[in-house]
Amino acid sequence: MKRWILLGLFFVVLLAPLVVSAWLGREVKVKSADLELVIITPHQEAIRREFAEAFTRYYRETFGKTVAIDYRTFGASDIVKYFDERAKTVSKENPTYGIDIAWGGGDFLFDVQLKKPGYLQALKLPAELMKEVFPDAKLSGLPLYDVDPKNGPCWFGTALSSFGVVYNRDVLRHLGVPEPRTWRDLADPRLANWVVLADPTRSASAKQAYMVIVERAMADALARGQSENVGWADGMGLIRQIAANARLFTDSSSVVPIMVSQGEAAAGMAIDFYGRSQANAVGNERMGYVEPANATIINPDPIALVTGAPHRELAQQFIEFVLSRQGQVLWNLKPGVAGGPRADALRRLPIRRDVYADMTNFTDQVNPFEAASSFNKSNAREKTFGIMGELIQFSCIDLLDELREMRKVILASPQAKELDARLGQFPFEEPEALKRLDAWKKATPSARLALAREWTEQFRAEYGELRTMAGAR
């Protein structure tokens, strides 16, 4: 018996470093190398692997040294938490976060959540490279890199992303519902319990997709001669109607296309490369991906040098590699072709305009610089982005059963049109949301729990009132 206990303890000691490393979001390195680079990222495994292999191969051939890339893999919200926690230990004696590069997660993450607290360090890249990669600093009015004349750029876009709707053609035929073309199509009552969505408090890309709906509604309100505040409430209300059709909210936006492809849902919202990749994997005859016309955005996915990077020179070389033609074509070349990924099609859109001159071996024949419309995201319309996830959580996710049941009741009532329109109008407008954002930022953890309960109860009371108006007991 004692022998078996000792043997068990031996394996615990042997495996403990691997378990702890995985729990921390760290990929275990199995090979020693001359140099090490530490990157924190939400990118999926295929992107991490293909770029690590390409860069280490390039570095070995160019400089004769080997590099081990240590990826710390977290979702965007957890990346912020990581830096917030590590900031408590940073000092003159210990001026590092233990990270060289932050890569991926959207421009709001980098511009607001990482740059403003000082987690990112300005970086001057070679002028010739900047000219090649960013001949124009903006696309449809949106900055492609951090344009900071005073301090220099802290982040640089590496790829472009957009958002759309994934749908299962077989399930839609079974339900007798036409293929979706707009965000509003996801609110069709015939899709009740057949929509899958991602939790915006866990996924930065999901939160950006919801923000697109709100921004489009704000732009529409302005075009009608109304206040953008009215449009903000319209957009948030539409999100509630869509959420009322939700079967569930996933923790990761990458799960949405998978569930749709498997027939567990009829439709959902997705970032472009997840949608296209899954549609290609299962076949376009079964699954489709569409971007609502003039109602989506093209958004840069950044990379940045972290303040106090332990391996600063190597970090800059990696950033320059990702922005080079050699790094950029990895995003969309077919696997196995010269210069392409070894195993997996990454299906991301490069940020370098010049690589689109020859798209012969591109997986996706899409040029975002030609596809860009007059509509795009706007910093002026994104002021509530910091509270967007929480508002959706308290009004939709935490009350999902009540929201679904309430909409079912009101749609069965004689006042269905009127009451559903009320559900499609959020109970307050942007100014109140900004007040709540300020209160949330200033609140302690215990105070946030109190605010969460208070706001959730407010939405619960509103849904109860709508049920009563519909004649339900």
Beta partners for residue 156, in sequence order: 145, 303
Is the pLDDT score of 9 beyond 70?
A: no
Q: Is 283 in the same domain as 311?
A: no
Give the pLDDT mean for 218-235: 97
Worst-scoring range by mean pLDDT, 28-32, 116-120, 207-211, 350-354?
A: 28-32
Question: For position 207, what pLDDT does the model report?
Answer: 93
Distance CA 385, CA 207 (A): 8
> Residue 88: pLDDT band by 50, 70, 90 thresholds?
very high
Query: What's the full length of the chain, in residues?
Result: 473
Q: Indicate the residue type of 351.
A: I
Question: For position 333, what pLDDT does the model report?
Answer: 96
Q: Is 135 in the same domain as 218?
A: no
Question: For position 31, what pLDDT does the model report?
Answer: 54
Q: Is 429 in the same domain as 288?
A: yes
Q: What φ, ψ does residue 212 adopt, rounded to 5°?
A: -60, -45
Q: Is 30 in the same domain as 89?
A: yes
| 14 within a domain of the structure (yes/no) | no
Is the pLDDT score of 19 beyond 50?
A: no
CATH number at residue 436: 3.40.190.10
Tell me the range of 84-93, 283-292, 322-331 where mean pLDDT is highest. 322-331
| 92 within a domain of the structure (yes/no) | yes
> Residue 7: pLDDT band by 50, 70, 90 thresholds?
very low
Q: Is 121 in the same domain as 138?
A: yes
Q: Is 91 in the same domain as 219?
A: no
Question: For position 10, what pLDDT does the model report?
Answer: 45
Neighbours of 288 (CB within 10 A): 19
Worst-scoring range by mean pLDDT, 78-82, 91-95, 332-336, 462-466?
A: 91-95
Question: For position 27, what pLDDT does the model report?
Answer: 45
Q: Which residues of 192-216 are buried (b: 16+ CB within 10 A; e: fewer)?
A: bebbbbbbbbbbbbbbbbbbbbbbb
Q: Is 331 in the same domain as 417?
A: no
Report pLDDT digits (tens) over 134-154.
999 998 888 999 999 899 999
Q: Is 238 in the same domain as 335?
A: no
- Its domain, for residue 310, covers 22-161+299-371
Give the pLDDT mean for 53-81: 95
| 55 within a domain of the structure (yes/no) | yes
| 15 within a domain of the structure (yes/no) | no
The domain boundary residue, chosen from 309, 339, 371: 371
Question: For position 17, what pLDDT does the model report?
Answer: 44
- For the purposes of burial, counting CB atoms within 10 Å of the CB of 44, is it exposed (0-12), middle (13-18) or buried (19 or more)? middle
Q: Is 262 in the same domain as 386?
A: yes
> Residue 473: pLDDT band by 50, 70, 90 thresholds?
low
Q: How many domains does the chain have?
A: 2
Question: For position 58, what pLDDT does the model report?
Answer: 97
The residue that leads in pLDDT, 18 or 208, is 208
The domain boundary residue, chosen from 371, 392, 412: 371
| 454 within a domain of the structure (yes/no) | yes
| 365 within a domain of the structure (yes/no) | yes
- Kindly report the pTM of this predicted structure: 0.81
Question: For position 277, what pLDDT does the model report?
Answer: 84
Give the pLDDT mean for 390-417: 97
Distance CA 350, CA 144 (A): 12
Question: Hey, what are 100's tokens?
Answer: 């060289």
Q: Is 208 in the same domain as 123?
A: no
Give the percent of the chain with pLDDT over 70: 93
Show the DSSP H helices in 68-182 as ranges: 76-86, 107-108, 127-133, 169-175
Give the pLDDT mean for 36-51: 95
> Residue 26: pLDDT band by 50, 70, 90 thresholds?
very low
| 322 within a domain of the structure (yes/no) | yes
Q: Is 113 in the same domain as 205?
A: no
Report pLDDT digits (tens) over 239-274.
999 999 999 999 988 899 999 999 999 999 999 988
| 367 within a domain of the structure (yes/no) | yes
Give the percent of the chain with pLDDT over 90: 79
The domain boundary residue, chosen from 323, 353, 371: 371
Q: Is 364 in the same domain as 450?
A: no
Taking all residues of the chain, what is their mean pLDDT, rounded to a whole number? 91
